[in-house]
Chain A
Amino acid sequence: MASLVQPVRPNVATANIQLPGVESYEQVDREIAGTLVPTRGWFLLLGVSILLFLWGAGTWVYQIYWGLGNAGYNPPVMWGVYIITFVFWVGIGHAGTLISAILYLFRAGFRTTIYRCAEAMTVFAVMTAGLFPIIHIGRPWKFFWLVPYPNWRLIWPNFKSPLVWDVFAISTYLTVSATFLYVGLIPDLAVLRDRATNPFKKRLLAVMSLGWRNSEPEWRHFARMYLFLAAFSTPLVLSVHSVVSFDFAMALTPGWHATIFPPYFVAGAIFSGIGMVFTIIIPIRKFFRLQHIVTINHLDAAAKLALFTSMVVGCAYLIEFWVAWYSANEFEQAYFWNRVFGQWWWAAWIMLTCNMIFPLSLFSQKLRRNPTWLFILSILINIGMWYERFVIIVPSLSHEFEPWQWSGYLPSWVDVSILAGSFGWFFMWFLLFIKNLPVIAIAEVKEIVPPRLRSHQVPTGVDVAGHHLDYSPETPGERD
């Protein structure tokens, strides 16, 4: 009877976290500060990103000069790539706040090593997203009309309009995310300040770190502030994509007029953001040689989150079809038929396969712990989630109530160039970030590393409540 029972691989990716590959605070400083040295590959990527950005920016100038007619708008499809890409980038930002704020409140330890990356991704993604409504309105210099300010015309925006809600939601989100990122960076900037040898850099870091000294009262107020910011960011992140979904759900257009939209959008946003986190963190841990800090177990835990949100999104897709059938509303039924089996079948099936079917592979622990597969899947998720927004926006507008209105839509080279330029803009900021500021939170990683003790060295991890646990060195996945 000896070998009839197969050994079961332990499900090791939990909220607890331990980093046996990191032995001292000095090692944390050395290894994370070591990632800030520019390399040739980094310059190359930055150059490509800047070129892409310049191409997109030049195309925008062209569009401003020649008019919005150069974008692929085809009445009644007057929302196209720009609004799709706006929703896409806002969505990307959501996983950052989920990881940095919501998982912080839930004491999910695996967030610690990936949250800085995710939070920076949020800020840059929202910066990118914010450009698109401005590009879309065609006369960007009139954008400020949406902002309520005392003016000689005595005119105020209409606060019942979802567009004004968007302005408030996105600008609050950008401000709070950028603040959250910056205050989290202050202790790490102090570490860099005290290690810097270049006097100019030292002075700059001293200003940026605000004279932070790691004293106990500073940490006490800092921890409280961090907790409250996380508590504010949590409902904020849920509200922002709900407000974005109201841009659609407040209209009577078939396929948009649905009460499921806010949770559906929020789940989709988090799903797409986790996809982008994988796209970013997997190359970073490889090229910066940080596999012992961002361990396989952290990727495994994040992959479970991706699987969960994928299933929520998949459920929302199916409920949309079901509601169209159950409502007995012929316009809804005709629209959904057209979406999946008619004019837009190809886009709908890209969405369904990339967002519902491929992520089911994450039920396999082996694949969840395979960074190459996670990276490939993350690209598929990014594509799928862009197409999700395409499928929501374009088919609805092209297939409304009156058959004489029905039309098609094809993005023009201007749309595609500005879309590509947005990726250039996003990655330009991100690449500048990773070589100038620590991409992993130094102070928070030090919280996981067992402190040096005079009596004896007790290797410990941290449980969900922040208490230290005995460490079992045979746990797989911690060093690779």
Chain B
Amino acid sequence: MTRGLIAAYHELDALVEGIEALQHRKFTKFTVYTPTPRHEIEHAIKPPTSKIRLFTLIGGLCGVTFGYWIAIWTSDYWPLVVGGKAIASWIPYTIIGFEVMVLVGALSTVYGMFILSRVPKITQTMGFDPRFTGGHYGIYVETSPERLKEAEATLRESGAVEVTNER
């Protein structure tokens, strides 16, 4: 069973120090909150690159394939024969292919963000404080009950203005 602590920070450098101190003391399960994305936090956490590009690539390829396919298939299904002209002409169909690529690619990118960020969330109360969308930074640490005291001390030492037990 794990227990959780929420720390609220006023200042960005204190937050970064808190992240580094937690990493140094081998606390691995924590979530950082920030009102706006900051490079300083990214440099401290060193997260892996988002996998959203895979969703974009696959969505885009599916879209362009479908766009060309629907235009070519319907032309062959009901041919409009105009002397000497191609029944399925790739030049105008590139417009359809392109538009459907953008449509499906863009929607699958958003879908990827939803999947990877785990939104929509039905409940958002656990490990979160409404101040984190305002002016405060925050860290939610999950750890074993034995290490709870150590985690709290680490967060307070780094400059957290408030540390509360979550459960």
Using a CB–CB cutoff of 8 Å, the interface residues on chain A facing chain B are 24-26, 29, 148, 154-160, 164-165, 168-169, 171-172, 175-176, 179-180, 183, 186-187, 190-191, 193-195, 206, 210-225, 228-229, 232-233, 235-236, 239, 243, 443-444, 446-447, 451-455, 466-467
Contact = CB atoms under 8 A, between A and B. Distances in A.
Contact of A220 (B10, B35, B47, B123): B47
> Could you tell me the dominant secondary structure of chain B's interface residues?
helix
A211 B96 contact: no
Contacts of B96: 159, 164-165, 168
Interface in B53-86: 53, 56, 67, 70-71, 74-75, 77-78, 80
Given A148-B70, A451-B11, A179 B47 contact: no
A233 to B, nearest CB: 8
Nearest to A446: B36
A29 B106 contact: no
B25 interface: no
Nearest to A176: B106
B78 A218 contact: no
B163 interface: no
20 contacts: A25-B135, A156-B78, A157-B74, A175-B106, A176-B103, A194-B130, A194-B133, A211-B123, A216-B31, A217-B116, A220-B37, A220-B50, A221-B50, A222-B113, A222-B117, A224-B113, A225-B50, A235-B102, A447-B36, A454-B10
B107 interface: yes
A164 B40 CA distance: 49
B36 A25 contact: yes
B89 interface: yes
A133 to B, nearest CB: 16
A159 B93 contact: yes
A221 B116 contact: yes
A112 to B, nearest CB: 11
A168 B123 contact: no
Nearest to A193: B133
Contacts of A229: 106, 109-110
B21 interface: no
Contacts of B74: 148, 156-157, 159
